[in-house]
Chains A and B, each alone.
With several copies, the nearest count.
Chain A
Amino acid sequence: MTSKVFKDAEAALFDMKDGVSVMSGGFGLCGIPENSILEIRRRALKNLHAISNNIGNSGRGLAWLLKEKQISRATCSYVGGNPDLEAQMLANEIDVTLVPQGTFSERIRAAGMGIRAFYTPAGYGTEIAEGKESRAFDMPCLLELPLAADFAIIKAQKGDPYGNLWFKETARNFSPLMAMAAKVTIVEVEQLVELGEISPEDVHLPGVFVQRIYQGADYENTIEIPIFKDET
């Protein structure tokens, strides 16, 4: 039986090519797949379609790839706090599609769960509605389609050799959904644990959605906006 466990990012991303679509987990810099992103930079892959809530932030994460002009297309919900993206948007160097965050997560889930389309009220009556079918239920809604990708790169706190994952605190965000929605899901973990070490009830993402997993290294785990008690 072929193993899902890879040595490192270089081994796990062996077949990623120019022009692919890549979902990348994380909210801001929280829970981002640092090792996989840096490997994409090292390999100088070009013309990527990045699908991520924030296309990096504060010069880090996917912004590492923005700096190298590796991303030609981005699908995201928020560009604030990302000077690299803003600059390239203004210079028309990147094609950005903005999607409301709840629609973004539900479209990714839909792709993973085989739902072919759904109706949501988000965005009705706004620019986002342009070119979209609408229909009134208890309130007017837009028809939204699944959002899938060639690859998903995500990070988890713990993972086992089958790919069962467990996420820490708010680092879960879009990662399990993206794992469901990509043809090839590559996971890096803080701790690669034994099969059975994650309690079956508390698996956050069953391994059936994961194709490759590796033990990550050298995490920065950057805190973007540290605020402490008795500050504001």
Chain B
Amino acid sequence: MGEVNVSGSQNHWSKNEMADQVVEMLHDGSSLNLGIGIPTLVAQRIPPEKGIWIHSENGVLGVAGRPTPESVSATLINAGKETISVKKGASFFDSAMSFGMIRGGHIDVCVLGGMQVDAEGSLANWMIPGKKVTGMGGAMDLVHGAKLVIVMLTHFSKRGDVKLLHRCTLPLTGKGVVHKIVTDLGVFTPTGESFQIDRLAPGVTEKQLGMTDTLLSSAS
């Protein structure tokens, strides 16, 4: 299954195009938490007129792009420890309040990166036993509470393994928590035993997904 190497194909979305898929799912005026990694690209792709309020779990609501060398501040960062700027109407708060916003269901959409995601909607993104531990950070909290949890990941690992599985094999971040998956090949909805294909990137065929037929179901 791992033999389809997407990087050799023209038929896939760029990371910015993946971000655009996420942007399409956002309602005007909604609040949005963006995880570390690919999800941070979403911030740059949102039209300002959508009036989205970006939350970063280290304690800010109203993230707005990047600072200039003049306006940069050591105390103004996002959860990826990158420098940011904020828009008018932003607010700062402590970590208990920040995670309460998430846990309490006040953040509409949460976008996370992932190592694996499965048909049950479970996500693995914090460790590879014996190889790598980054820690879960806020991810285990972020997957609970948001009305819409989106995972953004490349469809295949560098080794060529599909990251969309029947069941995750890596330690979970959350069980049955993911609503939508955006890869470079398509948008998917986990339905329990399989993934519903919501849409595919232009020119991509089901065969290219590297998934068995039983693991795939088309949108009804």
Contact = CB atoms under 8 A, between A and B. Distances in A.
Direct contact between the two chains A and B in their complex (CB within 8 A): yes
A196 B95 contact: no
B103 A114 contact: yes
A56 interface: no
Interface of A: 1-2, 27-31, 53, 57, 76-81, 86, 89, 98, 100-106, 108-109, 111-115, 120-128, 139, 157, 160-162, 164, 167-177, 180, 194-196, 200-201, 203-204, 206-209, 221-232
B100 A112 contact: yes
Contacts of A128: 136, 140
Contacts of B82: 224-227
Interface of B: 28-29, 31, 41, 44, 49-51, 53, 55-62, 65-69, 72-77, 79-83, 86, 88-107, 122, 133-142, 144-145, 171-176
A113 B100 contact: yes
Contacts of B136: 77-78, 98, 100-101, 123, 128
Contacts of B93: 172, 203, 206
A100 to B, nearest CB: 4
A5 B83 CA distance: 32
The A interface is mostly helix, strand or loop, or mixed, namely loop
Given A100-B138, A105-B96, A203-B92, A27 B176 contact: no
17 contacts: A27-B95, A30-B74, A30-B81, A78-B135, A86-B133, A101-B136, A102-B138, A106-B96, A114-B103, A115-B100, A122-B103, A173-B58, A180-B104, A195-B89, A196-B88, A203-B91, A206-B97
A159 B66 CA distance: 27
